[in-house]
Structure 1
Amino acid sequence: MNKSSLPAAAVLARRDFARSACPPSAMTAWNAGVRAATETDTSISILDVIGMDWWTGEGVTTKRIAGALRAIGDQDVVVNINSPGGDYFEGLAIYNLLREHKGRVTVKILGIAASAASVIAMAGDEVQIARAGFLMIHNTWVGAAGDRHQLRDTAYWLEPFDGAAVDIYASRTGIDSAEIGEMLDKETWIGGADAVARGFADSLLSNDAMRDDPQSRERTERLRAERATDNLGRIAGVSRSDIKQLIQDLKRVTPGADDYGKPGAADTEELRSLAETLRSL
């Protein structure tokens, strides 16, 4: 498929009281250690949450992808994906960047492409997926706070984003829009072979296209705990500024730890205590 035949995604204004994030099911399924076996100067890796991750200062942002594409120029590009998703609105913007790239885009789903990452994965002239890989599609998932009027307004505001996702998936696969809508409603996980059969991907990756990085895999449990704390804070109605402050308070590292901040015993206990406190609110 020529990616230019895919619809452009409209990226509307955000709402301060409704923050997009990857759902807990995607974080649970994600193994951060899955990597591409080889990379080149014309490869882009999407191997983290989509959008800025407040905890680590990392994450896959529109700014980062735009910079990578500028460096590559009009050459063909390979996009390696293993991501639980994240900021859906950032995902739509990245999808648009890849769709508009002048060179050929080959997407390789190494592990999972869930939520916002699944939208990004559609923006390829060719999409390949690991046999053990998964796509996960669902309606736009946000954490929101406010009174009944704000929450009702948020539900209406989300509808065009769900419609954009339906258009993208339907255009890619040829599946009827109503059926795609039902798949989004119930959160659908699509395995490698099934993704090819349904048209979400064009072919399966060979097993030697991936490698497992144990050091990166060690991050997964920590990231899950951090994301769970973040989600609980949203549910509890904690403001963005307060969550940022909590994140700064928790971003302590064991001396000599790597840049991702391996937790010490005190850090782990404090994180657990915070999660329990938020659950009780």
Structure 2
Amino acid sequence: MKCNNGKEKKDKYNPFKEAEDYLAKNRRLFLWGGVDDESAEKIVKRLLWLDSLNNDDIVLFINSPGGVISSGLAIYDCMQAIKSDVVTVCMGQAASMGAVLLAAGAPDKRYVWNNARVMIHQPLIQGEMVGPASDIQIQAEEMLRIRQVLNKILAEACGKDESQIEKDTDRDYFMTAQEAVDYGLADKKENFQ
């Protein structure tokens, strides 16, 4: 990078970026915060890159309140498409789309840390809807379709009927680590590293 006087300026050293890169090279990825296009792009690129190197397990640590459904489904689809098993680890919380990604981990490789919490619910429309009634109806129908998609994903991951998932996600459903294991969102309650 060049400064105004034409001399080279070195990028400021960031030990946290270095640590994140080191962990990624060792097949440890993090979803920390909301699920959005930026976090999804970063995770999908790294999943594809690591899977292209070899098919060893990739660990995805999750501490997320959820977020944008389409971004979360991009991560989910990538997890299902690659050959490497994705080990999911909930630390802190896995709520909403974060819980879907936790449940999407490889069978018998989904962990929840002892003091973490997990929350599932139906998809939410964020912001305000503006437009003619016909457009609002289209958006409502799409939201119901997405709800069915998410319910099917959770039902398959948890070994439950879709009708049970639909009932349980009607409102926010919070679970302790042990309750998440009992529900089928995770396989083991332990501080996996």
Q: Which residue of 2 aligns with 1:150?
A: 135
In the alignment, the residues of structure 1 paired with residue 69 and residue 42 of structure 2 have an alpha-carbon distance, to the nearest angstrom, of 16
- The one of 60, 71, 76 aligned to 2:39: 60
- The one of 47, 52, 59 aligned to 1:69: 47
- The one of 110, 117, 120 aligned to 1:127: 110
Q: Are 2:158 and 1:173 equivalent residues in the alignment?
A: yes
Q: Is the 8 A contact 1:45 1:79 kept in 2?
A: yes
Q: Is the 8 A contact 1:77 1:103 kept in 2?
A: yes
Q: Is the 8 A contact 1:95 1:122 kept in 2?
A: no
In the alignment, the residues of structure 1 paired with residue 153 and residue 129 of structure 2 have an alpha-carbon distance, to the nearest angstrom, of 29
In the alignment, the residues of structure 1 paired with residue 178 and residue 96 of structure 2 have an alpha-carbon distance, to the nearest angstrom, of 19
Which moves more between the two structures, 149-158 or 105-114? 149-158
Q: Is the 8 A contact 2:103 2:110 kept in 1?
A: yes
Q: Are 2:137 and 1:159 equivalent residues in the alignment?
A: no
- 1:56-135 matches, within 5 Å, as 59-61=38-40, 63-73=41-51, 74-125=55-106, 126-135=109-118
- The one of 182, 186, 206 aligned to 2:171: 186
Moved over 4 A (4+): none
- Higher RCO, 1 or 2 (CA under 8 Å, sep at least 6)? 1
In the alignment, the residues of structure 2 paired with residue 39 and residue 204 of structure 1 have an alpha-carbon distance, to the nearest angstrom, of 23
In the alignment, the residues of structure 2 paired with residue 177 and residue 51 of structure 1 have an alpha-carbon distance, to the nearest angstrom, of 26
In the alignment, the residues of structure 2 paired with residue 64 and residue 83 of structure 1 have an alpha-carbon distance, to the nearest angstrom, of 15
Q: Percent identity, please.
A: 24
> What one-letter code is carried by the residue in structure 1 that aligns with 2:49?
A
RMSD across aligned positions (CA):
2.0
Corresponding residue pairs, total: 165
Q: Give the TM-score taking structure 1 as reference length.
A: 0.55
> What one-letter code is carried by the residue in structure 2 that aligns with 1:189?
F
Unaligned runs of 5+ in 2: 1-21
The offset of 1:46, in angstroms, is: 0.5
In the alignment, the residues of structure 2 paired with residue 76 and residue 174 of structure 1 have an alpha-carbon distance, to the nearest angstrom, of 23
Q: 1:39 to 1:64 in 2, by over 3 A?
A: closer
